[in-house]
Amino acid sequence: MIPQHAPRALPTALLLSSLPARRRWWRWWGDRQFFVGGSFSSSGRRCRFCCGRAARRMGGVSGNDVATALAEKAALAMVVADPASLERKKAAVRDRGTDNLQVIADFDGTLTRYWIDGCRGQTSHGLLKSNPETDAKIQAQYEYYHPLEYSPAIPIDEKTKLMEEWWEKTHSLLIEGGLTFDDIQKSVSSANIGFRDGVVELFEFLEEKDVPVLVFSAGVADVIEEVFRQKLHRSFRNIKVVSNRMAFDNGRLVAFKGKTIHVLNKNEHALDMAAPVHDQLGDSNGSSDNSAFVKKRTNVLLLGDHTGDLGMSDGLNYENRISVGFLNDNVEKSLKTYQEAFDMVLLNDASMYGVLELVSQLCSPDKQ
């Protein structure tokens, strides 16, 4: 069996894997295929937080076996250009402790899956349905601009202008089409959108460790929060969404609040919106009810699916930043760019289990 997310024709030196040189095999548990054998980290430590949970769902399978399977399947889809640099950053973050760690994550194509059942998953912008005429116009905009977003041939300054043009046209169409909040709820319910495997376990682990998560998105906050409600069926006290906000009048969309955030200008606008979130929540020594969110967390784990997402941490006074990039498509054309930009690259719409293993190492007082 060929693993779904296994990279093809990549230099062996780039693959982050400590699998022993013995015969490897595949095992089926329920409807999931896992790689079995070896150890993800050099010490053999595994993330038991999620694996015990997964083992209970599967029944009759030990948490350690699931830990090994999930971690190694993630390793097969992982590329690290400079392992030594990553290890130094991990050690620095670990030494400062979880009280100094925060996670900044993009939403579409990062927390959510790029492909669902063989079809392109919808984005928080793309899933909105208003009326047939407006929907057709928005789809036409998507078909024109989306290939430009991921084209490696377009200079970044030119691409930024195109993305701003796309977002503003789409927002105008949604207002003109008379979108309502009821439309948002119905659209999410029928949407082809879903979170990556391992996202819930990641959020639960971070919530348990009181590590704040800021979800920066060029989509729509109102839609993203509805996706959380309907697809995860729960909320997390440590997660805040920073994105384009809608203004409603009697349930009908009348405007978008503030400046437009698109996929390539988060470094310019998103942190302007995030700053009050940090300020109002105070620091860990304060009396804020949201003590998990602190004003000064000097270590950042950044998750994104576009090199422009790296700008989400610009303006933060961080000491160390570990960046993880999800390269969902055009792997052969874009791999070099991604591995030069991110500390770690996850290929072909990989699961979130590789990130969960990384976070479990960062939050461990023991050297991995």
State the catalytic residues: 106, 108
Q: Which residues of 1-30 are buried (b: 16+ CB within 10 A; e: fewer)?
A: eeeebebeeeeeeebbeeeeeeeeeeeebe
Q: How far is CA 42 from the centre of its chain?
A: 26
Q: Given CA atoms 237, 243, 246, 247 in this order, what sign does their dihedral have?
A: positive
- Closest C-alpha to 127, from 199, 188, 195: 188
Q: Classify residue 196 by its DSSP letter.
A: P
Tell me how crowded residue 153 is: count the other CB atoms within 10 A of its CB.
7
Q: How far is CA 352 from the centre of its chain?
A: 8
Q: Going by DSSP bridges, is the β-strand pair 320-327/344-347 parallel, antiparallel, or unpaired?
A: parallel
**For residues 316 and 275, what is the distance between their CA atoms, to the nearest angstrom?**
9
